[in-house]
């Protein structure tokens, strides 16, 4: 415990800031993409003018999503390395945290377990840390809801695009998926910022 000389020596600090910037970028591109989807639903002639730009935005969003995913797992690993230093017996190892998020089926329990364990450990710290722990806990249900909704809507939209690309309702599926994806990105952003803030504040308390 307490291998930190100052709050800036946190392993997760730098990559956490990078992740937040990436998620803000992803949110911005998601808003643009959703706007294009809305145009396609309510103003098809106008959308035709921007169709190629919409395709470019989608490609950039996909690349940003993949980069953000990689950076997220690096951050998650380093965050739990910091937690091991800040708490004498933190129950989740860095590798265990990754496994809880990445292994299919197991992740259905694992993500909630990781986040609730974090919230439970910070809850007893008092003051701002208790408030931050409650915020993390409050985001668990929306996270699951947006993940399930995003997977379902995107699967429906892509399936319809392959089977029946002329379906008039197809743009609506993509629009609904866009709104849910925005909610998911915003939830990840809130979680990253809140957990990062909690760890930084805990490190400052430990040092002082």
Tens digits of residue pLDDT in 25-44: 999 999 999 999 999 999 88
Going from the C-alpha of 178 to that of each of 18, 116, 129, 169, the distances in angstroms are: 24, 28, 33, 15
From the list 208, 196, 202, the residue with the least C-alpha distance to 85 is: 202
Write out pLDDT tens, residues 119-173. 999 999 989 999 999 999 999 999 999 999 999 999 999 998 888 887 788 899 9
Q: Indicate the length of the chain as a whole number.
A: 208
pTM of the model: 0.91
In total, how many domains does the chain have?
1
> What is the residue-averaged pLDDT of the chain?
92
Domain hosting 176: range is: 7-207
Q: What pLDDT, on a 0 to 100 scale, did the predictor assign at position 7?
A: 56
102, exposed or middle or buried, with CB in 10 Å at 0-12, 13-18, 19+? middle
- 151 belongs to a structural domain: yes
* Confidence bin at 8 (pLDDT 50/70/90): low
Q: What pLDDT, on a 0 to 100 scale, did the predictor assign at position 178?
A: 95
CA dist., res. 198 & res. 134, Å (int):
11
* Confidence bin at 181 (pLDDT 50/70/90): very high
- 189 belongs to a structural domain: yes
Q: What pLDDT, on a 0 to 100 scale, did the predictor assign at position 1?
A: 47
- 2 belongs to a structural domain: no
Going from the C-alpha of 20 to that of each of 35, 191, 203, the distances in angstroms are: 23, 10, 20
* Confidence bin at 2 (pLDDT 50/70/90): low
Write out pLDDT tens, residues 89-116. 899 999 999 999 999 999 999 999 999 9
Instruction: Provide the token pair at 107.
Output: 């992740």
Q: ∠ at Cα 157 (41, 65), nearest 5°?
A: 100
Tally of CB atoms within 10 A around 71: 19
- 136 belongs to a structural domain: yes
- 197 belongs to a structural domain: yes
Is residue 88 pLDDT above 90, yes or no? no
- 1 belongs to a structural domain: no
CA dist., res. 177 & res. 153, Å (int):
5
- 44 belongs to a structural domain: yes
CA dist., res. 132 & res. 127, Å (int):
9
- 172 belongs to a structural domain: yes
Is residue 53 pLDDT above 60, yes or no? yes
Q: ∠ at Cα 67 (64, 68), nearest 5°?
A: 80
């Amino acid at each position: 415990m307490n291998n930190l000389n100052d709050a800036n020596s946190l392993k997760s600090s730098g990559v956490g800031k990078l992740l937040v910037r990436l998620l803000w970028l992803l949110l911005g591109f998601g808003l643009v993409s959703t706007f294009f989807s809305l145009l396609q639903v309510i103003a098809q002639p106008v959308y035709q003018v921007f169709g190629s730009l919409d395709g470019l935005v989608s490609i950039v969003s996909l690349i940003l999503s993949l980069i953000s995913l990689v950076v997220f797992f690096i951050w998650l690993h380093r965050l739990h390395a910091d937690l091991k230093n800040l708490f004498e017996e933190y129950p989740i190892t860095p590798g265990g945290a990754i496994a809880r998020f990445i292994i299919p089926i197991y992740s259905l329990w694992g993500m909630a377990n990781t986040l609730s364990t974090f919230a439970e450990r910070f809850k007893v710290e008092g003051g701002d840390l208790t408030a931050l722990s409650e915020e993390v806990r409050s985001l668990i249900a929306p996270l699951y809801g947006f993940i399930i909704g995003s997977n379902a809507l995107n699967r429906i939209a892509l399936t319809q695009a392959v089977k029946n690309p002329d379906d008039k309702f197809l743009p609506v599926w993509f629009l609904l998926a866009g709104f849910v994806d925005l909610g998911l990105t915003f939830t990840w952003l809130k979680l990253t910022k809140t957990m990062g803030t909690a760890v930084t504040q805990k490190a400052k308390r430990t040092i002082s």
